Amino acid sequence: MSLTAELKEYAVKQGVDLIGVTSAKAFEVDGMGKPLMDPRAYLENAKSIVVFGYYFGDQLTEPSRPDAPRGRLSPGLEAFSAMDEYCYQVIKEYLNERGYNAVKRERGQNIPLKPLAVKAGIGVYGKNSLVHADGFGFWIYLEGVITDAPLEAEDRPYKLSDCGDCIACIEACPTNAIKEPYKVMPSLCIAEWLDGAPIPRELRKKVGKRLTGCEICQEVCPKNQRLIPRRHYPVEIEEKSDSPELIPLLLGDENYYKTVLPNHVLEMDISTLRRNVALALGNIRDPMAVPALVQVLSYSEPKVRSYAAWALGRIGGRKAREALARSLNSEVDLEVQKEIKVALQLARGNVESQVLKRGSPGRSEGFLSRENSKGLKSDP
Ligand code: B12
Ligand code: SF4
Ligand code: SF4
């Protein structure tokens, strides 16, 4: 049996759901003349890349308690850190024992996992631009291990999914981010916004109560139906809710976050997390959230104050209006002042109708210029 076949057999026995090998040669990212990337920049003498994937099933767990507003985390996040590390260790130890080096792709390293997964034979691209695999649909996270082991590589050609005439994901995307099949515009994708990018004011409603990511273009896909929900993992998984209560999250500190949020979410910048919580509360529009949002109007992070103001505007009512008017007198940040003014109009009920009449405004309108100037995430 070849080294590749042995590694695959071993890893699958240890509970790695998907594993494939591609060569570490430089490659065009999408086979259509997109930039070349060279995995050997990350490990001298790199010969192969082992791509692995794990299935997290479609397991939205806890039903929301009706008495408290709750947000929504992406499914599978509680398993992310543990499974990522576990699968890596299985592959690394196997290769190390045979005298080879193996390093995991560091987060932030520019190694595009989707084309690598397709090349390694793990799955194929759907029109939502994600990779799906037989039996697991799109509910898979991917990772790559770069090694100097001379593994036999699959190096399969880029392959499109058999979507046929289906365009369900394109039609379902609430922000029209899938501009054409297989191409997502990051600047319009809710997942990118919740990662910290500015969110056009007029489109904030589309985010709903999500705190991380968006899965609409996966949920509607026929390939994600009738899958067996994942129940067991080969490693211990954090027991964390995927629908945390929003008010304690808005007011909580890092210690509180550690008790309720999965490790992977803790990597998020706290002001972005709080901003997303304020946004979700504004979309849920529960007056119960007004005192907490008022409290946050005096927080030190301008973007949190901005979104708290927006949320108060959405919820409306006398208390929200009075708090907004008070904070306008004391607010020193010009961008936040602008948000408060719009929120006051919103609370008086005369902004949304104007937006509807005007249609979708220009790109710069509604963006928080402070965030833009910080260059949090720019268009590709
Ligand atoms: C940046 C990024 C994003 C950005 C931009 C995504 C984008 N479509 O450009 C944002 C924040 C929007 C995002 C969102 C999501 N992401 Co993301 N993201 C990444 C990240 C970190 C880098 C991707 C990247 O820009 N690579 C560089 C570009 C040039 O390469 P690329 O990703 O492969 O994209 C090109 C090619 O695939 C090509 N292409 C696409 N289809 C086809 C088909 C053919 C035939 C050809 C020839 C080429 C081609 O066109 C693309 C543009 O050039 C990767 C991790 C990684 N390191 O790969 C995760 C990753 C791609 N994301 C992932 C996930 C799960 C998501 C979300 C579902 C998260 C969520 N719950 O919201 C959403 C899905 C949105 C969507 N429909 O794409 C997974 C995908 C797993 C899978 N099953 O495919 C990855 C691999 C992370 C992981 N560890 O598993 N993501
Ligand atoms: S993740 Fe959401 S916003 Fe992004 S492309 Fe898919 S449906 Fe659209
Ligand atoms: S929803 Fe339809 S078009 Fe989109 S990826 Fe799934 S099968 Fe393909």
Residues 249-281: tens digit of each pLDDT? 999 999 999 999 999 999 999 999 999 999 999
Residue 57: exposure state from Cβ atoms within 10 A (0-12, 13-18, ≥19) = middle
Q: Which of 271, 17, 52 is nearest to 143 (CA)?
A: 52
Q: Among the atoms of ligand 1, which is closest to the Cα of residue 111?
A: 57
Of 93-102, 163-172, 187-196, 367-376, the range with the lowest mean pLDDT is: 367-376
Q: What is the pLDDT of residue 32?
A: 64
User: Does position 362 have pLDDT exceeding 90, yes or no?
Assistant: no
Q: Band of the pLDDT at 35, cuts 50, 70, 90? A: confident
Q: Of residues 44 and 63, which shows the higher confidence score?
A: 44
**Cβ < 6 A, ligand 3 pocket:** 126-128, 161, 163, 166-169, 220-223
Q: What is the pLDDT of residue 304?
A: 97
Pocket residue to mutate for ligand 1, from 17, 18, 30, most atoms within 8 A of Cβ: 30
User: Which residue has tokens 């997109």?
Assistant: 34
Q: Is the separation of the CB atoms in 8 and 19 below 8 Å?
A: yes
Domain ranges of the chain: 1-243, 245-374
Q: Average pLDDT in the 319-343 region?
A: 97
Please list, residue by residue across 16-40, b when 16 or more beta carbons sit within 10 angstroms of its beta carbon and e when fewer do.
bbbbbbbbbeebebbeeeeeebebe
In the chain, where does DSSP find H-type helix? Answer: 3-13, 77-97, 113-119, 168-172, 190-194, 216-219, 246-251, 254-260, 263-266, 270-284, 290-296, 302-315, 318-330, 334-347, 352-358, 369-374
At 150 the three-state DSSP class reads: coil
- For residue 175, give the ligand nearest its CA: 2
Q: Among the atoms of ligand 1, which is closest to the Cα of residue 140?
A: 83
Q: Residue 316 CB: number of other CB atoms within 10 A?
A: 18
Q: What is the pLDDT of residue 43?
A: 85
Q: What is the pTM of this model?
A: 0.90
Residue nearest to atom 6 of ligand 3 (CA): 221
Q: Which of 56, 227, 205 is nearest to 135 (CA)?
A: 227
Residue nearest to atom 8 of ligand 2 (CA): 173
Q: Of residues 152 and 65, which shows the higher confidence score?
A: 152
**What confidence tens digit (pLDDT) does each residue in 181-229 have?**
999 999 999 999 999 998 999 999 999 999 999 999 999 999 999 898 8
DSSP line for 195-255:
TT----GGGGGGGTTBSS---HHHHT-GGGSSPPPP---SS------SS-BHHHHHH--HH
Between the CA of 55 and the centroid of ligand 3 the distance, in Å, is 19
Q: Average pLDDT in the 323-341 region?
A: 97
Q: Average pLDDT in the 132-148 region?
A: 95
Of 30-39, 56-65, 110-119, the range with the lowest mean pLDDT is: 56-65
**Cβ < 6 A, ligand 2 pocket:** 128, 173, 175, 177-178, 184, 189-191, 214, 216-217
- For residue 127, give the ligand nearest its CA: 3
Residue nearest to atom 1 of ligand 2 (CA): 214
Consecutive H or E run containing 54: strand 48-55
Q: Band of the pLDDT at 237, cuts 50, 70, 90? A: very high
Q: Average pLDDT in the 117-140 region?
A: 94
Of 7-21, 263-277, 299-313, 345-359, the range with the lowest mean pLDDT is: 345-359
CA distance 207 to 311: 13
- For residue 84, give the ligand nearest its CA: 1
Q: Band of the pLDDT at 361, cuts 50, 70, 90? A: very low
User: Does position 235 have pLDDT exceeding 50, yes or no?
Assistant: yes
Ramachandran angles phi, psi of 104, nearest 5°: -80, 145
Q: Of residues 357 and 342, which shows the higher confidence score?
A: 342
Q: What is the pLDDT of residue 62?
A: 52
User: Which residue has tokens 């790559």?
Assistant: 144
User: Does position 354 have pLDDT exceeding 60, yes or no?
Assistant: no
User: Which residue has tokens 């024992």?
Assistant: 97
CA distance 194 to 198: 9
Q: What is the pLDDT of residue 211?
A: 98
Q: What is the pLDDT of residue 296?
A: 97
What whole-number percentage of the chain has pLDDT above 70? 87
Determine the Cα angle at 216 with ends 215 and 221, to 5°.
100
CA distance 37 to 42: 11
Between the CA of 194 and the centroid of ligand 2 the distance, in Å, is 11
Q: Band of the pLDDT at 324, cuts 50, 70, 90? A: very high
Residue nearest to atom 4 of ligand 3 (CA): 169
Q: What is the pLDDT of residue 38?
A: 86
User: Does position 55 have pLDDT exceeding 60, yes or no?
Assistant: yes
User: Does position 380 have pLDDT exceeding 50, yes or no?
Assistant: no
Q: What is the pLDDT of residue 366?
A: 28
Q: What is the pLDDT of residue 372?
A: 30
Q: Band of the pLDDT at 136, cuts 50, 70, 90? A: very high
Distances (CA, A) of 323 to 9, 62, 319: 62, 34, 6
**What confidence tens digit (pLDDT) does each residue in 152-174 have?**
998 888 767 789 999 999 999 99
Consecutive H or E run containing 143: strand 140-147
Pocket residue to mutate for ligand 3, from 165, 223, 225, 227, most atoms within 8 A of Cβ: 223
Q: Residue 97 CB: number of other CB atoms within 10 A?
A: 8
Q: Average pLDDT in the 23-34 region?
A: 76
Q: Among the atoms of ligand 2, which is closest to the Cα of residue 206?
A: 3
Please name the CATH architecture into which domain 245-374 falls. Answer: Alpha Horseshoe (1.25)
Q: What is the pLDDT of residue 33?
A: 64
CA distance 158 to 120: 10
Q: Which of 196, 41, 183 is nearest to 114 (CA)?
A: 183
